[in-house]
A and B are shown apart, each in its own frame.
Chain A
Amino acid sequence: MSQDIAKLKKEVLAAIANAKDESQLEEARLRYFGKKGIVSGLLREIGKLSAEQRAKSGAELNLLRHEAQSLLLSRKEALALEKWNQDLARQSIDVSLPARGRGYGSWHPVSQVRRRIEDIFRQAGYDTVLGPEIESDYYNFEALNFPAGHPARDMHDTFYFADGRLLRTHTSPGQIRAMEVSKPPIRVICPGKTFRCDHDATHSPMFHQVEGLVVDRGVSFADLKGTLQAFVNAFFGEEVRLRFRASYFPFTEPSAEVDILRGGKENEQWLEILGCGMVHPNVLKEGGVNPQEYSGFAFGMGVERMAMLYFGIDDLRLFYENDLRFLRQFA
């Protein structure tokens, strides 16, 4: 009998494996395992055998049934998957058609760079303060040690309103406003729009600055140099050579212009990037800070200038033309 079972097993497994679809598979199942099936028949006849024979053939038949059922199941799954795949193949579409939705937008390069500057200082614990764009003469000039009629005012081409107020020419009024609302130690930056009555290839009537102010006991000119060196390195993501030159701003004493060295060995050049200095005692006094006790430094940089250096932009006018062929390059 064993020989017969072994032969049968071969036959059963082949029938299952060769079933081409679900109906052939079902047919095979019924033929061997249905109520009138061959294997079912053999199982019924097993009782007629000797005890020894019965045990042996019974075990062999059960094993056959087990293996066959497991094969049936996997064959069934395989056939189903095959059918799905045939269906899916018929659902072919042109996947190269353009995506729905209108691509990606991006921040204006000025916003990106403003944010980068802000992130760097925020990481060092600086607060961000904002001031109004329409300022009084007091905050824009007087409190910053530009007395009325002082020739230093001629350095600022100012937009005025009929009532004597003006569009701020720099973000430096933020220094006074910051000192008015907080006590030392102060570390703030003040980003924003600024305006000057000047319009040509290298001057925009509207531009952006970021002002910085640190006031505490014992703040030194060396601290100012160190802070700006660290900032510039972080901004450009590499060690950058800085040059501090003496300069003049009414609201700082000493004052400095800062240049950075850019370009390769062949064409290296110093480029002016920001102005800075130690806060003038008159300005500290206006902000309600005692210059006998405290000192501070301030700096101001043009965001467009930084953006031009960062992105390699060579024409200031591009920033406000809002041409998408330009803006989309900075995604």
Chain B
Amino acid sequence: MRVNELWLREWVSPPLSLAEIAAQLTQAGLEVEDIQGESYANMVVGEVLAADSHPNADRLRLCRVSDGSRTYSIVCGAENARQGLKVALALPGSVLPAGVKIKKAKIRGQLSEGMLCSADELALADQSDGILELSEDARAGAPLTEYLPQVMDIAVMPNRGDCLSIRGIAREVAVLNKLPFKPPLFKTLKPQHRDVIKVELLQPEGCPLYCGRVIKDLDITRPTPAWMKQKLESAGMRSIDAVVDITNYVMLELGQPLHAFDLAMIDGAIQVRAAKAKEKLRLLDGALIELDKSDLLIADHRKPLALAGVMGGVDSGISRKTKDVFLEGAFFSPLAVRGKQRKFNFVTEAAHRFERGVDYEMTPMAMERATSLLVDILGGSPGPLNETVKKEYLPDREPLAVSHRKLSEFLGFAVPSSEVERILTELGIKVKKLDKDRFTALPPSFRFDMDCWEAVAEEVARIHGYDAVPISLPTMPLQPRLPSTALTSEDRARHWLAARGYQEVISYSFISDKDYALTSPSQQPLRLANPISEEMVAMRSNLLAGLLTSLSHNQRQSIGKQKLFEVGMCFVADGKHYREENHIAGLVEEGGELFGEVSDNLYSIKGDLEMLLFSLQAEEGLTAEPLNNEEELAFLHPTQSLVWRAKSDRQAVCYCGLLHPQVSQRFKLRKANSCYFEIRLDRLKTRPPSVYESFSRYPPAQRELSLVMDEAVSYAELKEFVFTHGGSQLRELELLDIYRAAELGERKKSLSLRLIWQSESGTLTDEQINQLVDKLLQKLAKEMRILLREG
């Protein structure tokens, strides 16, 4: 809502600057986001006494300008600078809206003691030719703000539809300054003929009140007066024709949207009714809309005329041929108008007000105001005001029961009851005392937001000032308990990963379909119905795409050796539905060799993942397996990757590996062998708290064995076999070395192992160990064809 200072001051004028009024309104919940023309405050009206050519420059003029008491010499480049012109004069010390400070200066050898401003320099237009011409009757020396009003831009919240008018804002300003709120008295014209249009309210819950008036013989060719045009423009409205301008003017002034029909286009009576399915209406803006039964129409007996409370139809609108007008002022209930702007994809000032609630007790006054303006400006003769009302459908206003004691407790301080009464009464709320403590508060017809006694408390606090509320702290029982675990495992993972050199990133939860297909090949995405762009449409099912995007972005900035991680919600298909699942994932750029040591490969990321599983207290049964053509993991290298499955249900809980080169290529990574890991945190079962077990204090015995076997034998297989056949006292198996050489034979390798035995009940003898080793070697040779390396 844009509020013109001069217009506001016609209603209420506290002895404050506009900036001070704006600060009051902002505190009270009507946030002034901007004051247009704030800098006009230090400018004045100037009169050009003479505009001579500049002696040293063809295109410049040397003007003599009066501010009523003194004459200044000003150099100006505008062609329209001429004698007698009233101009916006910025004297040294004043600051233009763009922040330029005016100073005395010599321009081409001539002293210039100020500046004559153009519309764009005053931030009134993006572009302008020449200097701004003020009206001829402007008084030289008067503050510029008397002719170029400052305008407040107020963010009116949806609960305060009553403040979408000068009247509403003026009431707030009056209450905040303890001034009486006295609306101007508008004259009521006597009817000059008896013509009325009958009105049928067929949908009274949508329209319980409809005022109509026939005004005949208007001279539609007369223009809108300049003062009205200026006020409309300051409110951001374009002047259209005098009839429309007057209805808009009254709406801005009083908050009641009005509509004028061309009387000649109405057949028979007016009906306010539900639209029929597929009924069509061409609106004033030219759009043809198709309606359904949920839409409320103004119609005559033959055709729809207007979408009630939203926009008129083009056929029944005012045109150059219009002679007689049918003026409408109605109350359309918020529910009847809500959603229409979104449904038909446009916004109108009328709908904006009706869906927030319009003062149904003021409708006749707005009709009188508009009628007298129409007759004053365009002539014409008004008929009687025809008010059709179904009272039982008008909004209810229930008195709210308030306890003064409870209100003080709720706010946390005692507001004197006289102050409570003053505030509420001045806001138009009727207060009725019941006893010393209790009273009722009846909200006025213009307030649609007061539905509980707490709303009364808000009004008191808001006007009294939130600053006046003291501060205290709530007191609650000190109940010992563990902190909630909601974020603890996530944050623990963050600590560990950061300590291992990983940098956390946060990516958007929605990705492109293309990236989705590449990173989630086995499922269909959950897609947004109204995405911002095709790049942000599919809800991710894992964290790969975001990490790849970040890695690739940083590679383009020539940042190497990246280790990135992310923690975040993923959206995983589960039958027909999607489950939210918290994941942790890391992506490590292939780092090459560092001092001759391979720095990053599957085994280092495997180490990071195992560290995480340990720190997250993963259950014992989780086992790592090579991939087995799982489609859902097709983004990983098929033979240099691992997946951990839960023992109980074989679900994939986490996985790691090199990326599939296709993925690296599509994300334009520099090299093909980056490593990735991901933990589906919500599927990770944790082990129970540790219980102490006694341990053996007898000395351990160890043997080192070098075993030769086929390449195909995995370490995991070997390990399992050794533990199965190495005796129950085998405690540890350590891999010391892997050796490959021609002497071992084709596709053979040798693994050097250290085996450590320890008994619970005594010291193991050499002989006992030798027996265990012999037995194991026999088994290895016989069942696995694994032999002790010779030499």
B504 within 8 Å of A by Cβ? Answer: yes
Q: Which residues of chain B are near A263, meaning CB under 8 Å? A: none
Inside 8 A of A110's CB, which chain B residues have their CB? 506
Point out residues on A near B: beta carbons under 8 Å.
97, 100-108, 110-111, 115, 118, 122, 125, 127-130, 132-134, 148-152, 154-155, 159-162, 167, 185, 187, 191, 193, 195, 197, 199, 205-206, 214, 216, 218-223, 225-227, 229-230, 243-248, 250, 253-257, 278, 280-282, 295, 319-325, 327-328
List 6 additional A-B contacts (Cβ < 8 Å) besides A100-B595, A101-B501, A324-B562: A105-B500, A107-B498, A149-B339, A161-B526, A223-B472, A320-B506
Check if A222 sits within 8 Å of B413, measured CB to CB.
yes
Contact A327 B469 (CB under 8 A): no
With contact pairs A155-B158, A253-B455, A280-B454 given, residues A220 and B412 touching in the complex (Cβ less than 8 Å): yes
Min CB gap A140→B, angstroms: 15
Interface 9-mer from B473-481, B698-706, B736-744, B769-777: B473-481
Contact among A185, A280, A323 with B452 in the assembled complex (CB-CB below 8 Å): A280
24 cross-chain CB contacts under 8 A: A102-B599, A105-B497, A106-B504, A111-B506, A133-B580, A150-B338, A151-B352, A161-B528, A199-B532, A220-B411, A221-B410, A221-B411, A225-B412, A225-B471, A226-B472, A230-B473, A248-B160, A250-B159, A278-B454, A278-B457, A282-B452, A323-B557, A324-B503, A324-B557
B462 touches A (CB below 8 Å)? yes
Q: Is there an interface contact between A205 and B452, defined as CB atoms closer than 8 Å?
A: no
The 9 residue pairs across chains A and B that have the minimum distance between CB atoms: A222-B412, A246-B29, A220-B412, A254-B458, A248-B157, A149-B338, A226-B471, A322-B550, A244-B466
Asked if B559 CB lies within 8 Å of chain A CBs, one says yes
In Å, the complex CA distance between A182 and B501 comes to 40
> When A149-B339, A162-B529 are in contact, do A115 and B491 touch as well, CB less than 8 Å?
yes
Residue on A nearest B554 in the bound complex, by CB = A324
A191 to B484, CA, bound (A): 13
B473 touches A122 (CB 8 A): no
Contacting pair B472 A222 (CB below 8 A): yes
Question: A243 to B467, Cβ gap below 8 A?
Answer: yes
Residue B509 CB within 8 A of the other chain: yes
Query: Are A106 and B506 touching (Cβ within 8 A)?
Result: no
B687 on the A face (CB < 8 A): no
A-contacting residues, B447-496, CB 8 Å? 452, 454-455, 457-458, 461-462, 466-467, 469-474, 476-479, 483-484, 486-487, 491, 494
Q: Are A254 and B158 in contact (CB under 8 A)?
A: no
**A244:B410 contact, CB within 8 angstroms:** no
Output the residue of B458, B501, B510 with the most chain A CB within 10 A.
B458
- Closest chain-B Cβ to A274's Cβ sits at a distance in Å of 14
Assembly CA distance A221 to B461 (angstroms): 10
Bound-state CA distance A282–B452 (Å) is 9
Minimal beta-carbon separation of A314 from chain B (angstroms): 19
Cβ contact of B473, chosen from A101, A193, A223, A278, cutoff 8 A: A223
The segment out of B108-116, B244-252, B565-573, B658-666 that lies at the interface is: B565-573
B27 CB-CB contact with A under 8 Å: yes
Q: How far is the CA of A255 from the CA of B455 in the complex (A)?
A: 10
| B26 interface hit (Cβ, 8 Å) | yes
From the candidates A108, A149, A160, A257, name the one contacting B529 in the complex (CB within 8 A). A160
Asked if B505 and A327 sit within 8 Å, CB to CB, the answer is: yes
Q: Which residues of B contact A122 (CB under 8 A)?
A: 483
- CA distance in complex: A216, B476 (Å): 8
Q: For A108, what are the chain B residues with a Cβ–Cβ distance below 8 Å?
A: 504-506
Would you call B259 an interface residue if the criterion is a C-beta within 8 Å of the partner chain's C-beta atoms? no
Q: Which of B454, B526, B529 contacts A281 (CB 8 A)?
A: B454
Residues of A within 8 Å of B412, CB to CB, are: 220-223, 225
Question: Please, which residues of chain B bring their CB within 8 A of the CB of A111?
Answer: 494, 504, 506, 567
List the A side residues contacting B473 at CB < 8 Å: 223, 226-227, 230
B652 shortest CB reach to chain A, Å: 23
- Residues on the B chain within 8 Å of A218, using CB: 409
A105–B563 CB distance below 8 A: yes
Q: Which residues of B contact A246 (CB under 8 A)?
A: 27-29, 458, 461-462, 466
Contacts of B491 in A (CB 8 A): 115
Question: Which of A125, A152, A254, A282 interacts with B462 by CB under 8 Å?
Answer: A254
A254: nearest residue on chain B (CB-CB)? B458
Contact B410 A105 (CB under 8 A): no
CB of B31 within 8 Å of the partner chain? yes
Given contacts A105-B500, A125-B478, A295-B410, are A159 and B530 in contact (CB under 8 A)? yes
Min CB distance A298 to B, Å, is 13
In the complex the two chains form, what is the Cα distance from A162 to B60 in whole Å? 65
Residue numbers in B under 8 Å from A104 (CB-CB): 498-499, 501
Q: Using CB atoms, name the residue of chain B closest to A132.
A: B580
Q: Give the Cβ gap from B158 to chain A, nearest Cβ, in Å.
A: 4
In angstroms, Cα B461 to Cα A257, docked, is 14
Residue on B with the closest CB to A319? B506
The answer to whether the Cβ of B182 comes within 8 Å of any Cβ in the partner chain is no
- A161 touching B529 in the complex, CB below 8 Å, given contacts A105-B497, A105-B500, A216-B474: yes
Over the window 221-235 of chain B, the binary record of Cβ atoms lying under 8 Å from chain A Cβ atoms (1 yes, 0 no) is 000000000000000
* CB-defined contacts of A152 to chain B, threshold 8 Å: 157-159
The verdict on A253 contacting B508 (CB below 8 Å), with A129-B484, A221-B469 known, is no
Q: Is B67 an interface residue (CB 8 A)?
A: no
A247 B157 Cβ-Cβ under 8 A? yes
Cα–Cα, bound, A107→B504 (Å)? 5
Neighbouring B residues of A254 by C-beta, 8 Å: 454, 457-458, 461-462
B157: chain A residues within 8 A (beta carbon): 152, 247-248
- B563 near A102 with CB under 8 A, answer yes
A171 CB, nearest partner CB in chain B, Å: 13
Q: Is the pair B158, A151 in contact by a Cβ cutoff of 8 Å?
A: yes
**A321 touching B553, Cβ below 8 Å:** yes
Q: How far does the Cβ of A267 sit from chain B's closest Cβ, in whole Å?
A: 14
Q: Which of A127, A151, A205, A325 has a CB less than 8 Å from the CB of B536?
A: A205
Contact between B454 and A225, CB atoms less than 8 A apart? no
Using CB atoms, name the residue of chain A closest to B559: A324
Residues of B within 8 A of A199 (CB): 532
Q: Which residues of B contact A255 (CB under 8 A)?
A: 29, 458
A223 CA to B475 CA, complexed, in Å? 9
> Chain B 187-225, CB within 8 Å of chain A: the 1/0 string?
000000000000000000000000000000000000000
> Nearest chain-A residue to B490 (Cβ)?
A111
- Taken together as a complex, chains A and B put the C-alpha atoms of A223 and B430 apart, in Å, by 30
The residue in chain A whose Cβ has the minimal distance to the Cβ of B27 is A245
**B306 CB to nearest chain A CB (Å):** 20
Q: A104-B501, A106-B498, A278-B410 are in contact. Are A159 and B528 (CB under 8 A)?
A: yes
Q: Which residues of A contact B568 (CB under 8 A)?
A: 193
Enumerate chain B residues within 8 angstroms of A225, measured Cβ to Cβ: 412, 466, 469-472
Q: How far is the CA of A257 from the CA of B594 in the complex (A)?
A: 54
Most chain A CB neighbours (cut-off 10 Å) among B339, B472, B500, B591: B472
Least CB distance from A76 to B in Å reads 34
Nearest chain A residue, comparing its CB with the CB of B454: A253
Q: Chain B residues with Cβ under 8 A from A281's Cβ?
A: 452, 454
Closest residue on chain B to residue A272 by CB atoms: B31
B507 lies within 8 A of chain A by Cβ: yes
B531 within 8 A of A: yes
B506 touches A322 (CB 8 A): yes
When the two chains form their complex, are residues B559 and A247 in contact, meaning their CB atoms are under 8 A apart?
no
B window 514-534: CB within 8 A of A: 526-532
B162 part of interface (Cβ distance < 8 Å):
no
Minimal beta-carbon separation of B584 from chain A (angstroms): 12
CB distance from A12 to the nearest CB of B (A): 47
Q: Which B residues are CB-close (under 8 A) to A155?
A: 158
| Least CB separation from B547: chain A residue | A322
C-alpha spacing A321/B506, complex, angstroms: 8
Instruction: Assess whether B667 is interfacial by the CB under 8 Å rule.
Output: no
Whole-angstrom distance from the CB of A312 to the nearest CB of chain B? 19
Contact B509 A133 (CB under 8 A): yes
Please measure, in the bound complex, the distance between the C-alpha atom of A122 and the C-alpha atom of B491, giving whole angstroms: 14
Q: Give the residues in chain B near A221, CB-CB below 8 Å.
A: 410-412, 457, 461, 469
Q: Is B502 part of the contact surface with A, judged by Cβ < 8 Å?
A: yes
